């Protein structure tokens, strides 16, 4: 099968699968180009509340498939940055489900997700120093925000791979699961995400990502949504809330 992005939606959760098993799901130029419009399509679907990014088989993504990037290094980097930014801008919560190698461009995509869950035995690396590539400033800042300056420098300077224990300790991943338990945990957690207030999640995502100029907008959304009243009523009545807010800009 040709390298491609597989996707589907189940119970309001979209799953995007990086599929290039012959090269441990390394991203081809076509895959990089295909990711932003796919994410745009899923973001526009009112039935999608959360997104999971994962890799086919037993690995996440081994980076970029250099053999398919025939243009200049700048062009290849532009494709990766566009995909990364599109993933970071996805309006709903995003979770990277990581098995095996999560290296180079794969680590760049995982870092652009809101959360990262990994299976024991996964390996992480940010490897531009192996190729003499200048890592994009946006990706560097995102990495620093996750793991801090010292660990970001360790990863970027050395291009060495780290295991899940160190990734968890430094903040690169949020949960580590025993072998065979990652998929079930991600499914369980995304069910939780879908049950929560989309309003709360959307505002929190903007604020956490540094967007601090929209307090008035989100206050107005909260006043007009009915979600707060529903949440309080559900709590008092000891039932699950039925939130109804949908994005309006």
- What is the pLDDT at residue 75? 74
- Sign of the CA dihedral running 160, 166, 168, 171: negative
- Full set of structural domains in the chain with CATH: 4-193 (3.90.226.10), 198-237 (no CATH)
- What is the pLDDT at residue 96? 98
Cα 33 to Cα 28, 80, 158, distances in angstroms? 9, 8, 29
Within the chain, which residues score under 50 in pLDDT?
none
Closest CA to 169 of 105, 118, 104, 229: 118
List Cβ neighbours of 225 (8 Å cut-off, separation of 6 or more).
199, 244, 245
The C-alpha atoms of residue 56 and residue 227 are separated, in whole angstroms, by 38
- What is the pLDDT at residue 211? 84
| Contact yes or no for 193/202 (Cβ under 8 A) | no
Question: pLDDT, tens digit, for every residue of 144-171?
Answer: 999 999 999 999 999 999 999 999 999 9
């Amino acid at each position: 099968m040709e390298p491609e992005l597989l996707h589907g939606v189940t119970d309001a959760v979209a799953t995007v699968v990086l599929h290039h098993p012959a090269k441990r799901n390394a991203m081809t130029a076509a895959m990089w180009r295909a990711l932003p419009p796919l994410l745009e399509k899923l973001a526009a679907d009112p039935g999608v509340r959360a997104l999971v990014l994962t890799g086919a088989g037993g690995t996440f993504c081994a980076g970029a498939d250099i053999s398919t990037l025939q243009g200049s290094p700048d062009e290849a980097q532009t494709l990766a940055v566009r995909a990364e930014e599109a993933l970071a801008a996805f309006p709903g919560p995003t979770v990277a489900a990581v098995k095996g190698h999560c290296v180079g461009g794969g680590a760049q995509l995982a870092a652009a997700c809101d959360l990262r869950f990994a299976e024991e035995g996964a390996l992480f690396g940010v490897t531009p120093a192996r190729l003499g590539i200048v890592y994009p400033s946006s990706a560097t800042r995102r990495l620093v925000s996750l793991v801090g300056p010292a660990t970001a420098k360790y990863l970027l300077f050395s291009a060495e791979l780290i295991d899940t224990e160190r990734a968890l300790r430094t903040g690169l991943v949020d949960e580590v699961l025993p072998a065979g338990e990652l998929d079930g945990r991600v499914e369980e957690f995304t069910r939780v995400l879908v049950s929560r207030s989309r309003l709360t999640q959307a505002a929190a995502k903007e604020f956490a990502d540094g967007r601090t100029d929209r307090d008035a907008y989100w206050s107005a959304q909260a006043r007009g949504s009915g979600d707060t009243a529903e949440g309080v009523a559900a709590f008092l009545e000891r039932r699950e809330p039925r939130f109804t807010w949908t994005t309006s800009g």
